[in-house]
Structure 1
């Protein structure tokens, strides 16, 4: 049976996910945050950037923002993972990324390094302990990530996805400002100074999803952030453009493996 839990930490830039996935499969999707997954049991398969990989206990899976990927269990018993969801600004605020135009990058999506795995796993377990001191809770994320960043982290210029006279970042800003509105394809095409067919072709070729699918995921990603900020689910549904609570709950569970009511 699938079991998924999302937790907030004392640092608003870092969230935790505990998952035991058996039958649940992740469709192709992206995140707004970095996801660092520690595989603790079982075997998982995922495809990302044209490669299909399988991972098991001790592996660290790294998914940067905007990278499309999927995921499924390879065995009937499923796999267990502990995930850090880290907002990009967290690394910049710690001066790990030196420029607003750069981002933290890693040479591979999968890293096999027992010492780094142990450091991250210790931090994860400790952050789940309600009895640790506030100072320890504040320091743990940085301490846990230091070995990973020191050994494998690289600063790279953030990639841009040009779309006519605009780019994906500008479209994202526009859509985030209009999540609750019925955005149309002509609006997006006008922003890019492209025809509707040109926008759809360029968007799918460069991003890997249709504009509609990408916008739907953006709404759900923003919904997750609002739920973690303790905003009621009904309000969240309306704020991200779902006018039917049942439709929102179904889409959310299909994407994340649990209903909005279980986010805490």
Structure 2
């Protein structure tokens, strides 16, 4: 058995990131995404620290890491571990749930058979394309299964989904620019603190971290296109390479150079 760490992105594009990976020992340092990380362990024991406890994922269950929750990853045994993962933006889940708070899976692990079945299409073979209509159906099924597995109930207080979505679109339109909550307040028509609270409930992270994550996605695209780290940082609107690299490791648990090398290992 090879002990080489590798990451294999899905061969065909979708609206979200899909990958399969293997690590022989240490995988990644503590970090957090502003997306759901939903996956399954294919082989070995996938151990991770999450919400003040060490968790262990085994084949047969479903991993569901909530947006903005700090976690790491390492092999639970000397055999290493292999897994598949999808990273779903809360905005995609909200298109189905329509303004409910995001479902939360306690402990980051679920044995709910509805959730395992719902993720089968999206966590299938990384080499196969997913029909666009099948992708839409799968996203609907995953959102509903998440809510069911979490015991989701309708919120008592209404959340302003329309205003939060206006703010989210404004962030996309101004990537690379310096914006503040006052700008989002004007763009959304919602008071800044109510907006900040609703944005977290609906999209799983703060407006600031959402903006940073979108810029880091630009860094990854630039690096894959052949840009140097310095060029990628500039393209994405960061102050300098050091600033970008620090935020990159905080977001993904590995330095940008290591991330790029792992993609080319297998």
CA drift of 1:77 comes to 2.2
CA deviation vs aligned residue, 1:160-195 (integer Å, no higher than 9, x gap): xxxxxxxxxx9xx99x978688xxxxx9xxxxxxxx
Aligned residues: 212
* Equivalent in the alignment of 1:237: 233
Tell me if structure 2 keeps the 8 A contact 1:180–1:241.
Answer: no
| CA shift for structure 1 position 51 | 1.2
> In the alignment, which residue of structure 2 is the partner of 1:190?
none
Alignment of 1:1-264 (within 5 A): 1-7=4-10, 11-12=14-15, 14-94=16-96, 96-99=97-100, 102-125=101-124, 128-130=127-129, 133-152=131-150, 154=152, 219=212, 222-224=215-217, 227=220, 232=225, 234=227, 236-238=232-234, 239-241=236-238, 243-244=240-241, 248=245, 254-255=254-255, 258-259=259-260, 262=263
Distance 1:153 1:240 in 2: 41
Q: Which structure has more RCO (C-alpha within 8 Å, separation ≥ 6)?
A: 2
Question: What's the TM-score once normalised by structure 2's chain length?
Answer: 0.61
C-alpha separation in 2, matches of 1:36 and 1:124: 9
| Cα deviations by residue, 1:214-242 (Å, 9 ceiling, x for unpaired) | x9998567323664599845353221527
SS at match of 1:76: coil
Residues 36 and 87, structure 2, Cα contact 8 Å, conserved in 1: yes
Instruction: Sort the Cα spacing of 1:6 and 1:222 in 2 relative to 1 into closer, same or farther, 3 A.
Output: farther
CA deviations over 1:103-154 (Å, ceiling 9, x no partner): 2323341112345324413432167413x54333443333355434333352
Alpha-carbon shift at residue 24 of structure 1 (Å): 3.6
Which residues of structure 2 form unaligned runs of 5+?
A: 156-166, 181-207
Contact 2:103–2:146 (CA<8 Å) still a contact in 1? no
Structure 1: gaps of 5 or more residues: 158-169, 182-186, 188-214
Q: 1:47 to 1:58 in 2, by over 3 A?
A: same
Partners in 2 of 1:49 and 1:38 — Cα distance?
A: 19
Contact preservation (8 Å) 1:97, 1:103: no
Output the aligned Cα RMSD: 4.3
Q: In structure 2, what is the equivalent of residue 207 of structure 1?
A: none
1:222 match: secondary structure: helix
In structure 2, what is the Cα distance between the partners aligned to 1:24 and 1:242?
30
